[in-house]
Chain A
Amino acid sequence: MRVVYVYALVEPRSRRPLTPPRARAMQVRGHRIQLIPVGTIQALVELLEAPPALSEESLRAQHDIVVALARRFDAILPARFGAAVDIAELERLLALREKSLRTALARVRGREQMTVRVFGPEPQARIKTGMPVSGTAYLHGRRKAARVRVPASGRRVRRAVKSIMDRERIDAGHGRVQATLHHLIQRGRHEQYRALVRRALEGFPTDGGIVISGPWPPFAFTPDLWP
């Protein structure tokens, strides 16, 4: 049995539900991608014998497909890797979250994502001095540990791009990555974004490097729709 493998969700061309569903196909990087109406949302899918196995190759292939699709659609919400569903389940899920999906699609319309990773020395392992006295204390400790600390260079970046960013998401770092900044900007402004970051950090002392990447589809600005 073939599975419906979802790459992304996109805005409908019509506000009315399109029934019966009519698919439109396109070739993207050697894959036959179909645009199918699901209620008032549209999904970009491929019919596969089985979902792709996890590997660097399959992750890169999916990333490239989504990047190529983002060039064709003004508003796109990428799906996570492994989103194989049956069509009835997809319809049910999207119907349940139609409002938030449409809001999210409107938010990313005409936008692209830039990502800045701030690198630094790996934090030293903390020495535990004893067990927490209570569950609440333990949870407070976990919360404190998870708090995002943006290094000075990251704060400079944030200030520098504030005028052209529409939205921001900051992820806590792991290992040598001290923090990851994701910014949603208008499509076509990525060169300006890079120039602003470069100018802001010119001659700025830091313990690590900065990696700017993008423009990407708005991966970091896609809502969490876990049922």
Chain B
Amino acid sequence: MSPPRPHIAHIVDDSEASLLDVIDSLLNKGVVLNADLILALANVDLVYVRLSALLCAADRVLPRASR
């Protein structure tokens, strides 16, 4: 059986911020001023705290492709 043929690139222009943009920008990037991020989130959603902490750590540990 032949593999499915790829489609032509479907391009979406998005001038509004998607939830992905918002999460990516505000939880994973930007100036980290102190650990209050974790404290501020701890009362709300522990899963997010772990995710955020992991992302912060991964930023510094993983090799960077290019900056």
* A226 and B32 within 8 A (CB): yes
Identify whether the interface residues of A are mostly helix, strand, loop, or mixed.
Answer: mixed
Chain A residues, Cβ within 8 Å of B32: 79-80, 83, 224-226
- Out of B9, B41, B67, which one reaches A82, CB within 8 Å? B41
A34 at the interface (CB under 8 A from B): no
Say if the beta carbon of B1 comes within 8 Å of chain A.
no
CB distance from B5 to the nearest CB of A (A): 7
How many of A's residues come within 8 Å of B, CB to CB? 68
Which residues of chain B are within 8 angstroms of A117 by Cβ–Cβ distance?
20
Contacting chain B: which of A13-21, A54-62, A126-134? A54-62
Lowest 4 A-B CB distances belong to which pairs? A82-B37, A219-B25, A82-B40, A209-B10
Q: Identify the B interface with A (CB < 8 A).
A: 5-15, 17-27, 29-34, 36-41, 43-45, 48, 56, 58-60, 62-63, 65-67
Partner-B contacts on A (CB < 8 A)? 6, 8-9, 51-56, 59-60, 62-64, 67, 77-85, 89-90, 93, 115, 117, 143, 146-148, 153, 167-172, 177, 180, 194, 197-198, 201, 203-214, 216, 219-227
